Copies of this chain bind each other. A is one copy, B any other.
Amino acid sequence: MSDRSRYEDLQRQLRAVGAVKRAIVRNLPHDCPVGPTAVLSTLHRQGPTHLSLLADKMWLDISVTSRHVSHAVEQGWVERTQDPADRRSWTLSLTPAGRRMLDEISERTTGLLAERMSDWDDDEIDRLTALMARLHGSFADCTPPDRETAGTSAQA
């Protein structure tokens, strides 16, 4: 198999994964689109953080992340508390309502995945997850173009 057709197949399956993602998104609660869902999930995983670090972890531009966070704050799922040390920064954290919404989402999504992937072994799922992580790793620092997110360290 030529390199070209190997990479074309890879790309085609990247599109296929897009279709899977759309199916997952269709299964989300009506008031929580996928952007805010990612905020809740990442915040749960990371614990309270600043916006810039959150954006790093979500592999999105800060401006995009800010909008998703605003939505979550409006719904009462996330709380912004000012950082006394640097009054430009806010610490973002999940509220109890946010935790409940995240549970609801996890239940739905886990349910969907478990149903669809009932014939997968745990190993196989882990292998897929690991390979996707590695793929992303190969594109490190290729996330939002330029705009060095600088200081905020981070290295999943």
Contacts of A15 in B (CB 8 A): 38, 58-59
Nearest CB to that of A13 among chain B residues? B132
Question: In the docked arrangement, what's the CA distance between A135 and B3, Å?
Answer: 23
By size class, the interface of chain A is: 35 or more
A45 to chain B, nearest CB (A): 8
CA distance A4 to B44 in the complex (A): 13
User: How many copies of the shown chain assemble into the complex?
Assistant: 2
Which listed residue, B19, B59, B106, B138, touches A116 by the CB 8 Å rule?
A: B138
Kindly state whether residue A128 has any CB partner on chain B within 8 Å. Answer: yes
Is A113 located at the chain interface by the 8 A CB criterion?
Answer: yes
Is A67 in contact with chain B by the CB < 8 A criterion? no
A68-76, A80-88, A89-97, A139-147: which lies at the interface: A139-147
Q: What residues of chain B lie closer than 8 Å to A134, measured between beta carbons? A: 120
- Whether A148 sits at the interface, judged by CB under 8 Å, is no
Q: Is the CB–CB distance between A131 and B133 below 8 Å?
A: no
